[in-house]
Structure 1
Amino acid sequence: MTEHLEGEIEALYEVFGRVPRPLRVEGCAHCVAADEDRPLLAGPVRDLEPDVLQRYATEALLLWGDVPELRYFLPRLLEIGAGDGFEFGFPDPEIVFGKLGLARWTEWDDDERAAISALLTRWWELTVVDGDPWPSAGTVLCSLGRTGVDLVPFLDRWERLESTGAIRNLHEFVMEEMTWPSSGPKLRNPFWEKESAAYQETVAWLTDGRALAAVERAFQNESQDEPLTLLDEIHSVLGPQTTAVRAE
């Protein structure tokens, strides 16, 4: 994935390259060894291997370091997190991108916010049309939600359903990443923060008729058997659920 994000990643390195290298990355004295930060500071940030950043990426802002240190490591953290980092034992993307929410990045300087927003947008654009994305569209959507970004534009983008990949991703999301108990639909991914605006907006999108209308539009414009079958299966789930929710 990261080979298709080169421009956005380079922009992150350029913008955050002005952040000075920390002298130390202090951590909880009971949890982080006194010299455990040395490998993190041994060379250029873009050369750090995933296994070197692994523990810091998990514990940043919780037990290890603060926002200034996170800003220094951020380009490399997001580069690995948006790629195949967790194949190498890196934390799940939801954890990595959740650091942005903890750091309140939407209050940072304009050029920093713009660089991060460009990466998030491009990551989603590539993911949502990919027929077999890694990480999955559901994982990426949850990761975006954990940054605190408004998910409405991202869900609007998904509504186009202009490719078989986008339809496959919605099918997987509805069929495998959701449950439909009598109390209302729930998202399975444990990294979703159920009280967050992102969670509530995603559930609303699936139940207030917007996703169902997108499926029906796509059905009218589609002619291939595979996507038609997938759309029909999505409709069979969203249709009754959406009708029930709107009736309430």
Structure 2
Amino acid sequence: MAERMSGEIEGLYEVFGQVPRPLKVEGCAHCVAPDEDRPLLEGPVRGLSVDVLRRYATEALILWGGVPEFRYFLPRLLELAAENEFNWPDPEIVFGKLGRGRWTEWSDPERAAVRAFLTRWWETKVDDEDAWPDIGAVLCSLGLTGIDLVPFLDRWGRLGSSGAIRNLHEFVTTGVTWRTAGPKLGNPFWEKETASYRDVIAWLTDGRALTAVEQAFLAETQEEMLTLLDETHSALTR
């Protein structure tokens, strides 16, 4: 992924490289040791390891540090979380901190860099036949940032690759619980009262996803893909 997103990753480092290095990252006195921030501030942010950043990635904006510190570490946090390098915290937790930090109110260059990174991350994952983290985790992570998901869902709806077809099949057959009262997204990190959650449910139920599958079926020639599309169609029409 790093090669396919190199421009967007460098964009983050360039823009957020203007954020001053914190003198200290204050944390909850009961939860964070007085010198626990020292490894975070040694050397360039680009060189911080997963082990050094893991606890901060979990506690940032909750028990450890504020938005200025988070903006300083952001390029490395997103770079690692996008490929689930942390193992813990999950990418949903790390990307969700963008929403907590109200990134849509940051400066124009910062917002543009974050948006470019999120958009490119989705583009690389939605067409990836072996997406990791899986496409449901990626979609939830994006939703938790507060970004408008409609363009991302529209991009998925093109179903222009076997990866996009496989990912949609996996999502609707394993990542969604289909109930009489309506579908429920299975990822436990989803916040069900948000516009992002409602946008995904609407996409699955108002005919857009179904139309995308039907159009892809007409254009597809591979037997395996036709089978996946047929199973996806069945799930969407329950």
What TM-score does the superposition give when structure 2 sets the normalisation length?
A: 0.98
Alignment deviations for residues 28-86 of structure 1 (CA, whole Å, 9 cap, x no partner): 01111111100000111000001100000000000000000000000000010112413
Q: Which residue of 1 aligns with 2:117?
A: 119
**4+ residue segments displaced more than 2 Å:** none
2:166 maps to 1:168: yes
The count of aligned residue pairs is 238
Q: By how many angstroms is 1:5 displaced? A: 1.0
2:74 maps to 1:74: yes
Q: By how many angstroms is 1:239 displaced? A: 1.7
Q: What runs of 5+ residues in structure 2 fail to find an aligned partner?
A: none
Q: By how many angstroms is 1:180 displaced? A: 1.1
Contact conserved, 2:82 with 2:91, CA < 8 A, in 1? yes
* Alignment partners' CA distance in 1, 2:124 and 2:177: 26
Q: Which residue of 1 aligns with 2:51?
A: 51
Alignment deviations for residues 108-156 of structure 1 (CA, whole Å, 9 cap, x no partner): 1111111111100110011111111111111111000000000000000
Q: Which residue of 1 aligns with 2:209?
A: 211
Q: What runs of 5+ residues in structure 1 fail to find an aligned partner?
A: 241-248
2:211 maps to 1:230: no
Q: Which residue of 1 aligns with 2:150?
A: 152
* Alignment partners' CA distance in 2, 1:95 and 1:85: 13
**Quick one: which of 185, 188, 191 aligns to 2:186?**
188
Q: By how many angstroms is 1:194 displaced? A: 0.5
Q: Which residue of 2 aligns with 1:24?
A: 24
Q: By how many angstroms is 1:182 displaced? A: 2.1
Q: By how many angstroms is 1:90 displaced? A: 3.8
Tell me which protein shows more helix as a share of its residues: 1
Contact conserved, 1:54 with 1:90, CA < 8 A, in 2? yes
2:38 maps to 1:38: yes
Percent identity reads: 71
Letter in 2 for 1:211: A
Alignment deviations for residues 176-228 of structure 1 (CA, whole Å, 9 cap, x no partner): 10101222110000011000100010011001111000000000000110110
* Alignment partners' CA distance in 2, 1:103 and 1:219: 42
Contact conserved, 1:85 with 1:91, CA < 8 A, in 2? no
Q: Which residue of 1 aligns with 2:8?
A: 8
SS of the equivalent of 1:3 reads coil
* Alignment partners' CA distance in 2, 1:198 and 1:75: 24
Q: Which residue of 1 aligns with 2:140?
A: 142
Letter in 1 for 2:93: I
